């Protein structure tokens, strides 16, 4: 979306229709949903789609930014209700379940935890990294999480738990077991 000047009413309608259709398409087909099909279903040309969303990543992020912001808010809500170590576990479980339930979200989580010069800093990545950092630091201060664990590592491991659960049964039924196994390894005294 072009920054600086407000969109015309028709451009705003196209933008909103594209987001709605994109969210539906990603829910049906995952992050690999056809962008041309999304434009067609929204009743616009491909050029209009690319004018608003120059990349698949930009469209994914725009379609799911509200969900990602909600995950970040949930981290803070849970942290107010539970001790830090428990809060981290509950939030990771919600994140992993939500990532499986909302097809396409896994791709956003994956891009948020990518390391290297080609990594794209996105609003979604910023929200997720901030949420996990707050939870990890609190759990480390509490003494329920190893001091050598980096917040980004926890997000990467959560991405791995989602992938492992998809491989196991595709439904996310193994998430609790895999998180339990993972978190045991993150506790103090479990190794370096």
Three-class SS state of 80: helix
Confidence at 120, pLDDT banded by 50, 70, 90: very low
Contacts of 66 (CB under 8 A, 6+ apart): none
What's the CATH architecture for 63-186?
Orthogonal Bundle (1.10)
Instruction: Look up the pTM and report it.
Output: 0.80
What's the first-to-final CA gap in the chain, in angstroms? Answer: 45
Would the CA dihedral through 163, 164, 170, 171 be positive or negative? negative
DSSP 5-73: SPPPHHHHHHHHHHHHHHHHHHHHHGGG--HHHHHHHHTS-HHHHHHH-SSHHHHHHHHHHHHHHHHHH
Q: Which two tokens stand for residue 159?
A: 């991405």
Please give the Cα distance from 179 to 17 (Å, whole number). 37
**In this predicted structure, what is the pLDDT of residue 61?**
87
Q: Which two tokens stand for residue 88?
A: 């981290």
Contacts of 7 (CB under 8 A, 6+ apart): 1, 15
Q: Regarding the domain delimited by 9-54, which CATH topology (the fold level of the hierarchy) does it fall under?
A: Arc Repressor Mutant, subunit A (1.10.10)
Is 60 exceeded by the pLDDT of residue 115? no
Domain spans of the chain, in order of start: 9-54, 63-186
Summarised one tens digit per residue, pLDDT across range 129-166 is 899 999 999 999 999 999 999 999 999 999 889 888 88
Contact of 129 with 122, CB cutoff 8 Å:
no
């Amino acid at each position: 979306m072009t920054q600086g000047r407000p969109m015309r009413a028709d451009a705003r309608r196209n933008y909103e229709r594209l987001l709605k259709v994109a969210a539906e398409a990603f829910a049906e087909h995952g992050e690999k949903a056809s962008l041309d099909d999304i434009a067609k279903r929204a009743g616009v040309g491909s050029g209009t789609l690319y004018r608003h969303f120059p990349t698949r990543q930009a469209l994914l992020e725009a379609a799911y930014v509200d969900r990602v912001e909600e995950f970040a808010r949930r981290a803070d809500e849970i942290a107010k209700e539970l001790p830090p170590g428990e809060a981290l576990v509950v939030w990771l479980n919600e994140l992993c379940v939500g990532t499986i339930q909302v097809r396409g979200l896994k791709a956003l989580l994956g891009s948020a935890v990518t390391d290297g010069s080609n990594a794209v800093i996105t609003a979604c990545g910023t929200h997720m990294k901030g949420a996990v950092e707050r939870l990890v630091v609190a759990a480390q201060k509490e003494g329920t999480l190893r001091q050598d664990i980096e917040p980004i590592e926890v997000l990467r491991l959560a991405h791995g738990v989602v992938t492992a659960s998809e491989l196991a049964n595709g439904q996310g039924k193994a998430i609790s077991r895999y998180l339990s196994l993972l978190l045991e390894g993150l506790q103090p005294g479990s190794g370096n």
